C-alpha cells in the first residue's frame, strides 16, 4: 500500500496530476512493479 504522499508523487510523474489539483479522490494507484 502506498502512502498518500507516494501516490501523489507517482501520479505527478505519470502526468496524471497537475500542480494545483485538489488531492482528493485519488484513483487507486498501484505501485510500479
Place of cell 510523474: 13
Structure confidence at residue 5 (pLDDT): 78
Calculate mean pLDDT across residues 1-30: 67
pTM, 2 dp = 0.38
Which of the given ranges, 5-9, 15-19, 20-24, has the highest pLDDT on average?
5-9
Confidence of residue 26 (pLDDT cuts 50, 70, 90): low
Q: Is 25 left (phi over 0), alpha (psi -120 to 50) or beta?
A: left
- Determine what percent of the chain is predicted with pLDDT higher than 70: 36
Amino acid at each position: 500500500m502506498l502512502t498518500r504522499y507516494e501516490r501523489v508523487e507517482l501520479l505527478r510523474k505519470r502526468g496524471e496530476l497537475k500542480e494545483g489539483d485538489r488531492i482528493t479522490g485519488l484513483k487507486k494507484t498501484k505501485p510500479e512493479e
